[in-house]
Amino acid sequence: MTDSRKPEPDAPIAERVRALEEALDAKGLVPEGFLEKRAEQAQESFDPKNGARVVARAWLDPAFRARLLADGAAASAELGFRAANSEYLVVLENTDAVHNVIVCTQCSCTAWSVIGLPPDWYKSPAYRARVVREPRALLRGMGLDLPEQVAIRVWDTSGETRFMVLPQRPAGTEGWSEERLAGIVTREALIGVARVAGTTS
- Our finding on whether 150 is near another protein (CB under 8 A) is yes
- Number of Cβ atoms within 10 Å of the Cβ of 76: 26
Q: At 141, is the secondary structure helix, strand, or coil?
A: helix
Q: Which residues are bridge partners to 164 per DSSP?
A: 91
- Our finding on whether 180 is near another protein (CB under 8 A) is no
**Of the candidate residues 32, 145, 148, 174, the single one contacting another protein (CB under 8 A):** 148
Stretch that binds another protein, among 53-61, 74-82, 132-140, 166-174 (CB under 8 A): 132-140
- Number of Cβ atoms within 10 Å of the Cβ of 78: 13
- Our finding on whether 108 is near another protein (CB under 8 A) is yes
Among residues 76, 107, 113, 177, which one is catalytic?
Answer: 107
Stretch that binds another protein, among 51-59, 60-68, 110-118, 167-175 (CB under 8 A): 110-118
Minimum gap (Å) between residue 123 Cβ and another protein: 4
Q: Judged by CB, which is closer to another protein: 14, or 171? A: 14
> Are 199 and 173 in contact, with CB atoms under 8 Å apart?
no
- Our finding on whether 25 is near another protein (CB under 8 A) is no
Give how far Cα 70 sits from Cα of 20, 65, 73, 80, 124, Å. 43, 9, 9, 18, 31
> Are 91 and 144 in contact, with CB atoms under 8 Å apart?
no
109 is catalytic: yes
Backbone angles phi, psi at 103, to 5 degrees: -150, 165
- Name which of residues 58 to 77 contact another protein (CB under 8 A): none
- Our finding on whether 177 is near another protein (CB under 8 A) is no
Minimum gap (Å) between residue 56 Cβ and another protein: 21
DSSP state of 8: S
Pairing label, strands 161-166, 98-103: unpaired
- Our finding on whether 201 is near another protein (CB under 8 A) is no
Amino acid letter, 40 = E
* Residues acting as catalytic residues: 104, 107-109
